[in-house]
Amino acid sequence: MPTGWLQRLMRDGMMTGKNKYKHVRVTWWDPCQSNEAWVPEEEILEHDVATCVDVGYIYKKTKSKLWLFTSYSTDSKGLEVGGLQCIPTGCIKKIEVMK
């Protein structure tokens, strides 16, 4: 019988694929702000959004926001997450469920 961390992973569904949080890849646009105080008109359109990709677990999704975390731990005190990010849904290009 596994003990310690392995037992917790199995209990929490990480080893069995029964984790209640969807494991996803989120592609999203990150707004760009100029580093310069003043930008000449001919350079305005050179600034663009960055396309970003994050892989993690969806904690919650609403009409306006998605909370994503990349790692987690559970113990007698409950859930703790790492790599937490809140992404505006208007910036999300696509969400793919990982298998």
Within a domain: 49: no
Within a domain: 93: yes
Q: What is the pLDDT of residue 1?
A: 45
Q: What share of the chain has pLDDT > 90, as a percent? A: 68
Within a domain: 86: yes
In angstroms, the CA 51 to CA 9 distance is 33
pLDDT digits (tens, 9 = 90+) for 15-41: 444 578 999 999 999 998 988 899 999
pTM: 0.74
pLDDT digits (tens, 9 = 90+) for 58-87: 999 999 999 999 999 988 888 999 999 999
In angstroms, the CA 20 to CA 10 distance is 13
In angstroms, the CA 65 to CA 23 distance is 17
Within a domain: 27: yes
Total domains, the chain: 1
Residue-range definition of the domain harbouring residue 99: 19-31+57-99
pLDDT digits (tens, 9 = 90+) for 8-17: 544 554 444 4
One-letter identity of residue 99? K
